[in-house]
Chain A
Amino acid sequence: MGEMVYVPGGEFQKGSPPWVLEWLERESQPFPGEWFRDEVPQRPETVPPYWMDKYPVTVAEFAEFARDTGYRTSAERAGRGMVYGSRYWEERAGACWRRPAGGDAPGTAGYEDHPVVHISFEDANRYAEWAGKRLPTESEWEFAARGPGFRIWPWGDVWKQDDANTAEYHAGALHTPEQWRRWWEAVCSVSGPMPQTTPVGAFGPAGDSVFGCSDMAGNVYEWNSTVAHLYDEASECDATLRAVMGRYRVIRGGSWMNFRYQVRCCERMYGDPDGWSNFATGFRCARDT
Protein backbone atom coordinates (compact mmCIF):
# COMPACT_ATOMS: atom_id res chain seq x y z
CA MET A 1 0.00 0.00 0.00
CA GLY A 2 1.69 3.15 -1.20
CA GLU A 3 5.27 3.04 -2.45
CA MET A 4 7.64 4.60 0.06
CA VAL A 5 11.11 6.09 -0.22
CA TYR A 6 13.79 5.83 2.42
CA VAL A 7 14.87 9.20 3.76
CA PRO A 8 18.21 8.87 5.53
CA GLY A 9 17.58 11.68 7.97
CA GLY A 10 20.06 14.40 8.77
CA GLU A 11 20.57 17.91 9.99
CA PHE A 12 19.25 20.95 8.20
CA GLN A 13 18.22 24.56 8.65
CA LYS A 14 14.45 24.38 8.55
CA GLY A 15 12.66 27.39 7.09
CA SER A 16 13.64 30.12 4.66
CA PRO A 17 16.79 32.24 4.72
CA PRO A 18 16.26 36.04 4.77
CA TRP A 19 16.97 36.44 1.06
CA VAL A 20 13.85 34.44 0.21
CA LEU A 21 11.59 36.96 1.93
CA GLU A 22 13.39 39.80 0.18
CA TRP A 23 12.90 37.98 -3.12
CA LEU A 24 9.21 37.42 -2.39
CA GLU A 25 8.70 41.13 -1.72
CA ARG A 26 10.33 41.96 -5.05
CA GLU A 27 8.30 39.43 -6.99
CA SER A 28 5.02 40.20 -8.69
CA GLN A 29 2.82 38.36 -6.20
CA PRO A 30 -0.08 39.69 -4.14
CA PHE A 31 0.97 39.06 -0.55
CA PRO A 32 2.75 41.51 1.76
CA GLY A 33 6.10 40.56 3.26
CA GLU A 34 4.68 39.88 6.71
CA TRP A 35 2.56 37.14 5.23
CA PHE A 36 5.68 34.98 4.87
CA ARG A 37 7.36 35.77 8.18
CA ASP A 38 6.11 32.54 9.71
CA GLU A 39 8.76 30.67 7.71
CA VAL A 40 11.66 32.56 9.32
CA PRO A 41 14.04 32.52 11.07
CA GLN A 42 15.67 29.30 10.03
CA ARG A 43 16.20 26.90 12.87
CA PRO A 44 18.44 23.86 13.10
CA GLU A 45 16.59 20.55 13.01
CA THR A 46 17.73 16.96 13.13
CA VAL A 47 15.48 14.26 11.74
CA PRO A 48 16.23 10.57 12.24
CA PRO A 49 15.84 8.21 9.25
CA TYR A 50 12.26 7.49 8.17
CA TRP A 51 10.15 6.28 5.29
CA MET A 52 8.02 8.72 3.31
CA ASP A 53 5.26 7.96 0.82
CA LYS A 54 6.56 8.65 -2.66
CA TYR A 55 3.14 9.97 -3.65
CA PRO A 56 0.08 11.47 -1.98
CA VAL A 57 -2.54 8.85 -1.10
CA THR A 58 -4.67 8.18 -4.15
CA VAL A 59 -8.42 7.83 -4.64
CA ALA A 60 -7.95 4.08 -5.28
CA GLU A 61 -5.93 3.62 -2.08
CA PHE A 62 -8.44 5.54 0.00
CA ALA A 63 -11.28 3.58 -1.57
CA GLU A 64 -9.64 0.34 -0.43
CA PHE A 65 -9.44 1.72 3.10
CA ALA A 66 -13.09 2.81 3.02
CA ARG A 67 -14.20 -0.57 1.68
CA ASP A 68 -12.16 -2.44 4.24
CA THR A 69 -13.25 -0.42 7.26
CA GLY A 70 -16.55 1.19 6.32
CA TYR A 71 -15.02 4.50 7.36
CA ARG A 72 -16.96 7.63 6.47
CA THR A 73 -14.99 10.83 6.20
CA SER A 74 -15.74 14.05 8.07
CA ALA A 75 -17.25 15.55 4.91
CA GLU A 76 -19.42 12.48 4.34
CA ARG A 77 -20.73 12.65 7.89
CA ALA A 78 -21.37 16.40 7.63
CA GLY A 79 -23.08 15.99 4.26
CA ARG A 80 -21.13 18.88 2.80
CA GLY A 81 -17.65 19.88 1.70
CA MET A 82 -15.75 23.01 0.79
CA VAL A 83 -15.53 23.76 -2.92
CA TYR A 84 -14.34 26.94 -4.61
CA GLY A 85 -17.37 28.07 -6.59
CA SER A 86 -17.57 30.76 -9.21
CA ARG A 87 -16.74 33.54 -6.72
CA TYR A 88 -15.41 32.04 -3.52
CA TRP A 89 -15.41 29.08 -1.17
CA GLU A 90 -18.77 27.40 -0.72
CA GLU A 91 -20.03 24.59 1.44
CA ARG A 92 -21.54 22.27 -1.15
CA ALA A 93 -24.02 19.57 -0.28
CA GLY A 94 -22.64 16.12 -0.93
CA ALA A 95 -19.10 17.23 -1.70
CA CYS A 96 -16.67 14.62 -0.40
CA TRP A 97 -13.85 12.40 -1.64
CA ARG A 98 -16.30 10.31 -3.67
CA ARG A 99 -17.82 13.35 -5.35
CA PRO A 100 -15.31 16.21 -5.11
CA ALA A 101 -17.43 18.96 -6.68
CA GLY A 102 -20.65 18.10 -4.87
CA GLY A 103 -23.88 16.21 -5.22
CA ASP A 104 -24.74 16.55 -8.89
CA ALA A 105 -21.22 16.72 -10.25
CA PRO A 106 -19.23 13.79 -11.64
CA GLY A 107 -17.69 11.32 -9.22
CA THR A 108 -14.14 9.99 -9.25
CA ALA A 109 -14.35 7.53 -12.17
CA GLY A 110 -11.12 8.04 -14.07
CA TYR A 111 -9.50 9.73 -11.09
CA GLU A 112 -8.34 6.56 -9.33
CA ASP A 113 -4.67 7.46 -9.63
CA HIS A 114 -5.20 11.08 -8.58
CA PRO A 115 -4.66 12.20 -4.99
CA VAL A 116 -7.75 11.79 -2.83
CA VAL A 117 -9.26 15.13 -1.69
CA HIS A 118 -11.76 16.36 0.89
CA ILE A 119 -9.62 14.73 3.58
CA SER A 120 -9.79 16.09 7.13
CA PHE A 121 -7.03 15.72 9.68
CA GLU A 122 -9.01 12.94 11.34
CA ASP A 123 -9.56 11.18 8.00
CA ALA A 124 -5.84 11.28 7.24
CA ASN A 125 -4.93 9.88 10.63
CA ARG A 126 -7.48 7.10 10.41
CA TYR A 127 -6.16 6.04 7.02
CA ALA A 128 -2.57 6.18 8.22
CA GLU A 129 -3.39 4.02 11.23
CA TRP A 130 -5.09 1.47 8.98
CA ALA A 131 -2.09 1.43 6.65
CA GLY A 132 0.38 0.96 9.52
CA LYS A 133 1.80 4.40 8.95
CA ARG A 134 1.45 7.91 10.39
CA LEU A 135 1.39 11.49 9.17
CA PRO A 136 4.80 13.09 8.68
CA THR A 137 5.95 15.79 11.04
CA GLU A 138 6.54 19.20 9.51
CA SER A 139 10.32 18.70 9.75
CA GLU A 140 10.08 15.32 8.02
CA TRP A 141 7.93 16.78 5.27
CA GLU A 142 10.27 19.71 4.59
CA PHE A 143 13.39 17.55 4.73
CA ALA A 144 11.87 15.08 2.27
CA ALA A 145 10.99 17.96 -0.06
CA ARG A 146 14.30 19.85 -0.10
CA GLY A 147 16.96 17.67 1.46
CA PRO A 148 19.67 18.99 3.78
CA GLY A 149 20.46 22.05 1.65
CA PHE A 150 18.08 24.92 0.96
CA ARG A 151 16.16 25.02 -2.29
CA ILE A 152 13.02 26.94 -3.16
CA TRP A 153 11.26 24.11 -4.96
CA PRO A 154 11.91 20.37 -4.80
CA TRP A 155 14.01 20.45 -7.97
CA GLY A 156 15.92 23.66 -7.26
CA ASP A 157 15.68 27.44 -7.26
CA VAL A 158 14.47 28.04 -10.81
CA TRP A 159 10.72 27.92 -11.32
CA LYS A 160 9.58 25.32 -13.85
CA GLN A 161 5.96 25.76 -14.73
CA ASP A 162 5.64 22.33 -16.33
CA ASP A 163 7.17 20.36 -13.46
CA ALA A 164 4.44 20.78 -10.85
CA ASN A 165 0.66 20.86 -10.74
CA THR A 166 -0.11 24.47 -9.82
CA ALA A 167 -2.62 26.91 -11.28
CA GLU A 168 0.26 28.19 -13.38
CA TYR A 169 0.65 24.77 -15.00
CA HIS A 170 -2.94 25.04 -16.19
CA ALA A 171 -3.21 28.76 -16.84
CA GLY A 172 0.32 29.97 -17.56
CA ALA A 173 2.14 32.51 -15.39
CA LEU A 174 -0.16 34.13 -12.83
CA HIS A 175 0.54 37.27 -10.83
CA THR A 176 -2.78 38.53 -9.50
CA PRO A 177 -5.92 37.07 -7.90
CA GLU A 178 -7.92 38.51 -10.79
CA GLN A 179 -5.91 36.49 -13.30
CA TRP A 180 -6.52 33.43 -11.16
CA ARG A 181 -10.26 34.10 -11.02
CA ARG A 182 -10.48 34.40 -14.79
CA TRP A 183 -8.76 31.03 -15.18
CA TRP A 184 -11.01 29.40 -12.60
CA GLU A 185 -14.15 30.83 -14.17
CA ALA A 186 -13.05 29.34 -17.48
CA VAL A 187 -12.50 25.96 -15.84
CA CYS A 188 -15.88 26.06 -14.14
CA SER A 189 -17.64 27.03 -17.35
CA VAL A 190 -16.33 23.86 -19.01
CA SER A 191 -16.26 21.22 -16.28
CA GLY A 192 -17.78 22.77 -13.18
CA PRO A 193 -15.68 23.16 -10.03
CA MET A 194 -13.80 19.89 -10.37
CA PRO A 195 -10.42 19.71 -8.66
CA GLN A 196 -7.64 20.10 -11.19
CA THR A 197 -5.56 17.31 -9.69
CA THR A 198 -3.24 15.23 -11.83
CA PRO A 199 -2.24 11.56 -11.51
CA VAL A 200 0.33 11.15 -8.77
CA GLY A 201 3.87 11.09 -10.11
CA ALA A 202 2.90 12.75 -13.38
CA PHE A 203 5.69 15.32 -12.97
CA GLY A 204 8.45 12.91 -12.01
CA PRO A 205 11.31 12.53 -12.11
CA ALA A 206 11.99 16.15 -13.15
CA GLY A 207 9.64 17.54 -10.50
CA ASP A 208 10.68 15.13 -7.75
CA SER A 209 12.54 15.98 -4.59
CA VAL A 210 16.11 15.14 -3.69
CA PHE A 211 14.93 11.87 -2.19
CA GLY A 212 12.57 10.99 -5.03
CA CYS A 213 9.26 12.09 -3.55
CA SER A 214 6.78 13.27 -6.17
CA ASP A 215 4.12 15.99 -6.00
CA MET A 216 5.69 17.82 -3.08
CA ALA A 217 5.07 21.07 -4.95
CA GLY A 218 1.38 21.38 -5.75
CA ASN A 219 -1.27 18.82 -6.70
CA VAL A 220 -2.87 18.65 -3.21
CA TYR A 221 -2.33 20.33 0.14
CA GLU A 222 -0.86 17.77 2.54
CA TRP A 223 -1.61 17.41 6.23
CA ASN A 224 1.31 17.18 8.64
CA SER A 225 1.02 16.00 12.23
CA THR A 226 2.70 19.09 13.70
CA VAL A 227 0.68 21.64 15.65
CA ALA A 228 0.92 25.14 14.14
CA HIS A 229 3.61 27.21 15.80
CA LEU A 230 5.93 30.09 14.99
CA TYR A 231 9.62 29.42 14.56
CA ASP A 232 10.15 32.55 16.66
CA GLU A 233 7.40 33.80 18.94
CA ALA A 234 8.67 37.33 18.37
CA SER A 235 8.08 37.15 14.62
CA GLU A 236 5.84 39.90 13.36
CA CYS A 237 3.31 38.07 11.26
CA ASP A 238 -0.29 38.42 10.19
CA ALA A 239 -2.69 38.58 13.18
CA THR A 240 -4.89 35.82 11.80
CA LEU A 241 -1.88 33.54 11.40
CA ARG A 242 -0.96 34.19 15.01
CA ALA A 243 -4.52 33.21 15.96
CA VAL A 244 -4.12 29.69 14.57
CA MET A 245 -0.89 28.93 16.38
CA GLY A 246 -1.46 26.11 18.84
CA ARG A 247 -4.87 25.42 17.29
CA TYR A 248 -4.45 24.36 13.66
CA ARG A 249 -2.18 21.68 12.16
CA VAL A 250 0.52 22.34 9.61
CA ILE A 251 -0.28 21.82 5.94
CA ARG A 252 2.51 21.74 3.35
CA GLY A 253 3.13 21.64 -0.35
CA GLY A 254 0.44 23.90 -1.75
CA SER A 255 -1.94 22.61 -4.37
CA TRP A 256 -3.19 22.81 -7.93
CA MET A 257 -5.00 26.00 -6.87
CA ASN A 258 -1.85 27.93 -6.04
CA PHE A 259 0.74 30.19 -7.63
CA ARG A 260 4.43 29.18 -7.62
CA TYR A 261 5.01 31.01 -4.35
CA GLN A 262 2.63 28.80 -2.35
CA VAL A 263 4.24 25.53 -3.44
CA ARG A 264 7.73 26.28 -2.13
CA CYS A 265 9.38 23.68 0.09
CA CYS A 266 9.42 26.06 3.09
CA GLU A 267 5.97 27.56 2.60
CA ARG A 268 3.73 26.98 5.61
CA MET A 269 -0.04 26.69 5.73
CA TYR A 270 -2.32 25.64 8.54
CA GLY A 271 -5.60 23.73 8.53
CA ASP A 272 -8.40 23.53 11.05
CA PRO A 273 -8.10 19.96 12.37
CA ASP A 274 -11.67 19.83 13.65
CA GLY A 275 -13.30 18.12 10.67
CA TRP A 276 -12.49 20.70 8.00
CA SER A 277 -11.35 19.71 4.52
CA ASN A 278 -11.70 21.01 1.00
CA PHE A 279 -11.49 19.81 -2.57
CA ALA A 280 -7.75 20.41 -2.78
CA THR A 281 -6.69 18.82 0.52
CA GLY A 282 -5.11 15.38 0.72
CA PHE A 283 -2.13 13.81 2.45
CA ARG A 284 0.74 11.38 2.33
CA CYS A 285 2.07 9.16 5.09
CA ALA A 286 5.39 8.45 6.76
CA ARG A 287 6.67 5.51 8.76
CA ASP A 288 9.46 4.94 11.25
CA THR A 289 12.38 2.81 10.11
Chain B
Amino acid sequence: MITIVLSSAWTQGGQTRFEAREGTLREVLRDFAASRPAYRHRLLDGEGEPLGYFNVYLDEEFVPRGERATTPVRPGATVTIVPPLAGG
Protein backbone atom coordinates (compact mmCIF):
# COMPACT_ATOMS: atom_id res chain seq x y z
CA MET B 1 0.00 0.00 0.00
CA ILE B 2 0.96 3.63 -0.34
CA THR B 3 -0.09 6.82 1.44
CA ILE B 4 -1.79 9.79 -0.19
CA VAL B 5 -1.67 13.11 1.65
CA LEU B 6 -4.20 15.83 0.87
CA SER B 7 -4.56 19.40 2.07
CA SER B 8 -6.81 20.27 5.00
CA ALA B 9 -8.32 22.82 2.65
CA TRP B 10 -9.66 19.94 0.58
CA THR B 11 -10.83 17.81 3.47
CA GLN B 12 -12.23 20.65 5.62
CA GLY B 13 -10.75 19.36 8.82
CA GLY B 14 -11.36 15.71 8.12
CA GLN B 15 -8.96 12.91 7.23
CA THR B 16 -5.92 14.06 5.26
CA ARG B 17 -3.91 10.81 4.96
CA PHE B 18 -5.29 7.88 2.99
CA GLU B 19 -4.06 4.42 2.11
CA ALA B 20 -4.19 3.54 -1.57
CA ARG B 21 -2.93 0.93 -3.99
CA GLU B 22 0.47 1.26 -5.64
CA GLY B 23 0.90 1.62 -9.41
CA THR B 24 1.87 4.41 -11.73
CA LEU B 25 0.99 7.87 -10.45
CA ARG B 26 -1.78 8.04 -13.01
CA GLU B 27 -3.22 4.73 -11.79
CA VAL B 28 -2.88 5.76 -8.17
CA LEU B 29 -4.79 8.99 -8.69
CA ARG B 30 -7.49 7.35 -10.78
CA ASP B 31 -7.99 4.52 -8.28
CA PHE B 32 -8.04 6.93 -5.38
CA ALA B 33 -10.62 9.16 -7.05
CA ALA B 34 -12.76 6.11 -7.81
CA SER B 35 -12.69 5.02 -4.17
CA ARG B 36 -13.16 8.56 -2.80
CA PRO B 37 -15.55 10.27 -5.22
CA ALA B 38 -15.70 13.41 -3.06
CA TYR B 39 -12.22 14.28 -4.38
CA ARG B 40 -12.77 13.28 -7.99
CA HIS B 41 -13.46 16.81 -9.28
CA ARG B 42 -10.24 18.05 -7.72
CA LEU B 43 -8.10 15.27 -9.18
CA LEU B 44 -9.54 14.14 -12.51
CA ASP B 45 -10.89 15.83 -15.62
CA GLY B 46 -14.14 14.97 -17.35
CA GLU B 47 -12.49 12.04 -19.14
CA GLY B 48 -11.16 10.61 -15.91
CA GLU B 49 -7.55 11.65 -16.49
CA PRO B 50 -5.50 13.29 -13.74
CA LEU B 51 -5.61 17.06 -13.87
CA GLY B 52 -2.36 18.91 -14.31
CA TYR B 53 -2.84 22.03 -12.21
CA PHE B 54 -1.75 20.60 -8.84
CA ASN B 55 1.76 19.69 -7.81
CA VAL B 56 2.72 16.18 -6.79
CA TYR B 57 5.56 15.18 -4.49
CA LEU B 58 6.59 11.54 -4.30
CA ASP B 59 8.44 10.99 -1.02
CA GLU B 60 9.15 14.74 -1.07
CA GLU B 61 10.54 14.68 -4.62
CA PHE B 62 8.66 16.87 -7.10
CA VAL B 63 7.17 14.93 -10.01
CA PRO B 64 7.01 17.07 -13.18
CA ARG B 65 3.66 17.25 -14.89
CA GLY B 66 4.91 15.42 -17.99
CA GLU B 67 6.22 12.46 -16.03
CA ARG B 68 3.21 11.64 -13.90
CA ALA B 69 1.62 9.14 -16.25
CA THR B 70 4.55 6.77 -16.01
CA THR B 71 6.12 7.50 -12.62
CA PRO B 72 5.89 4.36 -10.49
CA VAL B 73 4.64 4.66 -6.92
CA ARG B 74 6.12 1.75 -5.03
CA PRO B 75 4.76 0.15 -1.84
CA GLY B 76 5.42 2.28 1.21
CA ALA B 77 5.73 5.52 -0.76
CA THR B 78 3.94 8.74 0.13
CA VAL B 79 2.25 10.89 -2.50
CA THR B 80 1.58 14.47 -1.39
CA ILE B 81 -0.77 16.52 -3.52
CA VAL B 82 -0.40 20.28 -3.18
CA PRO B 83 -2.47 22.95 -4.91
CA PRO B 84 -0.46 25.71 -6.62
CA LEU B 85 -1.97 28.16 -4.13
CA ALA B 86 -1.45 26.70 -0.67
CA GLY B 87 -2.52 27.93 2.73
CA GLY B 88 -5.30 30.33 3.35
Interface residues of A (CB under 8 A from B): 30-32, 34-35, 38, 82, 87-89, 91, 177, 221, 238-241, 243-244, 247-248, 251, 254, 258, 262, 267-272, 276, 278, 281
Contact = CB atoms under 8 A, between A and B. Distances in A.
Interface stretch (B22-30, B50-58, B66-74): B50-58
A88 to B, nearest CB: 5
A248 B13 contact: no
Given A35-B87, A238-B7, 4 more contacts: A177-B12, A243-B80, A247-B62, A248-B86
A55 B88 CA distance: 22
Interface residues of B, number: 27
Interface in B39-85: 41-42, 51-53, 55, 57, 60, 62, 80-85
B interface, over-half SS: mixed
Contacts of B16: 238-240
A254 B84 CA distance: 15
Nearest to A245: B86
A240 B88 contact: no
Given A30-B13, A88-B42, A258-B88, A238 B80 contact: no
User: Secondary structure at chain A's binding surface: helix, strand, loop or mixed?
Assistant: mixed
B8 A34 contact: yes
B13 A31 contact: yes
Contacts of B5: 239-240, 243
